[in-house]
Amino acid sequence: VANFLNSSSELIAFTSGATDSLNMVATMWGLENLADGDEVMLCNEDHASSVLPWYNVQELLSRRGVNIKIIPFAVHSTGTYDRKSFRAGLGPKTRIVCLSHIHHLYGMEMDIAELKTLVPEQVFVSLDASQSVSHIKVDAEALAVDFISFSAHKMFGCNGTGVLWSSPRAVAQMWPTRVGAKTTLSSGSGRFNVARDKLSQLVECGTLNLPGILSLKAAIEFIESNGIERMSDYISGLTIYLLEKLKSVEGIEFAPGIGVCDCTKGFGIISFRINGFDSADIGAYLDSEEIFVKTGDQCLGSGKTDDDLIRISLQIYNTAQEVDRFLEVLNEAISS
């Protein structure tokens, strides 16, 4: 994992998945470091697992008399973060900014390097890499953020395993929320104290999910043997192929993302609705032909479920023939 992220093992811990990792960022760092009046910036259109842990921390802190603010920023109609609202949200009280690397519903890569130029050095940055880790290179050194979270099962591994990466300055400021066997205690102060020089000492306790971790190893070897750039190019080509075909579907209305922006690179995700049709009905029709798409709750942090979008998500195991078949069945569903 350390080599895969271009980092060192001291900064990595195994978790039960991205949701677990993102909750750890909020509780292990947030509860420990946020003070009255501090601000957390996030986008409510990001995944619920990236957003809700901060509302929970806000609630937990308020019960102790510490009131933090959550400052939301928006997604632009093209599918990347709206720079204007991002800039407007930053202020002297901002302590952490939470970002997605590739958006789970709009499928756009956020320009982390450019966003980081707007964020002052002392402000922490948490990155949800769940959708990017098997699509583009996730290089902890180059990204230069403070936290990176992802799940093994979104990169061909098993369910129930994930990774949290933290920068050295973040590790030094985190406090465990779970302890037990394997927790490394540090002596000296006469009080309960944990060693804070390795992330795994703070996060991992009890028996780890070894089969899941071994599946992650195999998944990394699989990605490295294919080459992430090659995978990325293949998925991009297939996304654009799908997009061009979708454009001719009667009544299609694209959600933010590659369907509405003039981008030349795709990341496998296209979301849309078909005017006059319930997405769940179209989903059920596709399902009956063994074509699996996501409809209904799209796991937005805002909890918004009324958008009625159909989300397609492609990986390297999908082919142009499958895209053709999908279009055939989609047109059948619409005309039946």
User: Footprint of ligand PLP on this chain (CB under 6 A)?
Assistant: 17-19, 47, 49-50, 100, 104, 128, 130-131, 151
- Of 131 and 239, which CB lies nearer to ligand PLP in the complex structure? 131
Could you list the beta-strand ranges (E) of 101-197: 124-128, 147-151, 162-166
* Pick from 139, 126, 118: nearest CA to 228: 139
* Pick from 233, 1, 273, 16: nearest CA to 140: 1
Q: How far is the CB of 79 from ligand PLP (least distance, A)?
A: 14
DSSP annotation of 27: I
DSSP annotation of 255: P
- Of 19 and 200, which CB lies nearer to ligand PLP in the complex structure? 19
Residue with tokens 């990176």: 148
- Of 129 and 282, which CB lies nearer to ligand PLP in the complex structure? 129
Q: How far is the CB of 155 from ligand PLP (least distance, A)?
A: 11
Q: How far is the CB of 36 from ligand PLP (least distance, A)?
A: 29
Q: How far is the CB of 41 from ligand PLP (least distance, A)?
A: 17
The secondary structure element, H or E, covering residue 241 is helix 228-246
Residues 108, 256: contact at Cβ < 8 Å?
Answer: yes
Q: How far is the CB of 149 from ligand PLP (least distance, A)?
A: 7
- Of 67 and 305, which CB lies nearer to ligand PLP in the complex structure? 305
- Of 102 and 246, which CB lies nearer to ligand PLP in the complex structure? 102
Q: How far is the CB of 162 from ligand PLP (least distance, A)?
A: 6
CA torsion sign, 320 to 324 to 329 to 335?
Answer: positive
- Of 130 and 232, which CB lies nearer to ligand PLP in the complex structure? 130
Buried b (16+ CB within 10 A) or exposed e, 83-94: eebbeebbeeeb
280: phi then psi, degrees, rounded to nearest 5? -65, -35
Q: How far is the CB of 163 from ligand PLP (least distance, A)?
A: 11
| Residue 72, CB-side half-sphere exposure with 13 Å CA sphere | 12
Residues 144, 115: contact at Cβ < 8 Å?
Answer: no
| Residue 283, CB-side half-sphere exposure with 13 Å CA sphere | 17
- Of 128 and 204, which CB lies nearer to ligand PLP in the complex structure? 128
Interaxial angle between packed helices 320-335 and 228-246, expressed in degrees from 0 to 180 and rounded to the nearest 10: 30
